[in-house]
Amino acid sequence: MSSNKPFLKNWIAIFWIAMLLPLIWGCTSATEKNLEQLDKTVLIYNNAFESKSEDGGSAYVQNDYRMDYLLKYGEIQTRISFFQIQTLNVAYFKSKKPLEINDDNPEGEIDEAVITMRYQVAISPSNRLKTFIHEQHWKLDGETWLLEPNLKPFLR
C-alpha cells in the first residue's frame, strides 16, 4: 500500500515557505536597504575607478560633476597606478548631522555618507609610491547613491 500523503505534505510545505519568504524579506528596514545599496555602489564604483575602466564609474557620479569628472579621469587613467587601497572609516549623516548606526540606533535614516580611504599610488612620470588619505562624499538621491567627486589628490 502506497500513500500520496508525503507528496501532499511536501507541496503544503513548499506553499507555506513561498508565502512566508516575502514577509521575511519585507522585514528589512529602509535603513538596512540603504546601507546595503551604499555598500554595493561604493564597491562597484571603486572597482571601476581603480581598474581604470573606460568610464571610471562615472555612472555613480552626481550629474553636476560628471563632465568634469570624465575629463579629469582621462588623466588619472594615463598617470596613476594603484597599488594598495583600504577603507579606513565610514561616517553616516542625516541632514548633514552625524548619525551613528549601531544596535542602540538600528533605524537611523541616512542620506549622506563619507567613506575615508587610504590610497597608495604611483603618479607618472615618477615611480615613487605616494600614500594619501581621501574622503569620498556620497549622497542619497531618491534610491540611488551618488558621489560628489574630488579628484584633486590624484592629480597633484
The CATH number for 107's domain is 3.10.450.50
- Examine residue 68 and state whether it is found in any structural domain, yes or no: yes
- Examine residue 104 and state whether it is found in any structural domain, yes or no: yes
Confidence of residue 4 (pLDDT cuts 50, 70, 90): low
- Examine residue 19 and state whether it is found in any structural domain, yes or no: no
DSSP letter at 51 equals: T
Tell me the Cα Rg of the chain. Answer: 22
- Examine residue 3 and state whether it is found in any structural domain, yes or no: no
- Examine residue 107 and state whether it is found in any structural domain, yes or no: yes
- Examine residue 24 and state whether it is found in any structural domain, yes or no: no
Domain that holds residue 128: 29-154
What is the spatial order of strands in the sheet that 80-94 belongs to? 97-99, 80-94, 112-123, 129-141, 144-148
pTM score of the predicted model: 0.76
pLDDT digit string, tens, across residues 45-87 = 999 999 988 888 999 999 999 999 999 999 999 999 999 999 9
